[in-house]
Amino acid sequence: MLIVGVLEEGTKRFSEIRDAVGGITPKVLTQTLRAMERDGLVARKVYAEVPPKVEYTLTELGRSLTRPINAIRTWAEDNMGELFATRARYDSEHP
């Protein structure tokens, strides 16, 4: 979901995605991007340069995920206060 959110802003290089997501190892990001490419969510473009330049872009299928992801984000933002209150109440009752 985080990678889709980053790529929703437009085409990005690997390091830009890594920096925007934060807390993800290069290995895990590489594996995730490869899986997303395999699933048709991300297009990968390699430029014949030294050092190699690689860019990632959401495909049409990948862009179709932005609406449901944004709906989940909105729901979470709208209900965060209640979620935290419920969690605190539960934790106080179940030490």
Q: What integer is the mean pLDDT of 35-46?
A: 97
What's CA 21's distance to the chain center, in Å?
Answer: 7
Q: Give the three-class secondary structure for 90.
A: helix
Q: Is the pLDDT of residue 95 over 90?
A: no
Residue-level pLDDT at 62: 97
C-alpha neighbours within 13 Å on the C-beta side of residue 22: 1
Residue-level pLDDT at 11: 98
Q: Is the pLDDT of residue 52 over 90?
A: no
Q: Give residue 51's pLDDT band: very low, low, confident or very high (50, 70, 90).
A: confident
Report the amino acid identity of residue 24.
Answer: I
Q: In this structure, are residues 56 and 33 in contact, taking their beta carbons and an 8 Å threshold?
A: yes
Q: Is the pLDDT of residue 17 over 90?
A: yes
Q: What integer is the mean pLDDT of 68-93?
A: 94
**What is the four-CA torsion angle of 25, 30, 36, 39, rounded to 10 degrees?**
-140
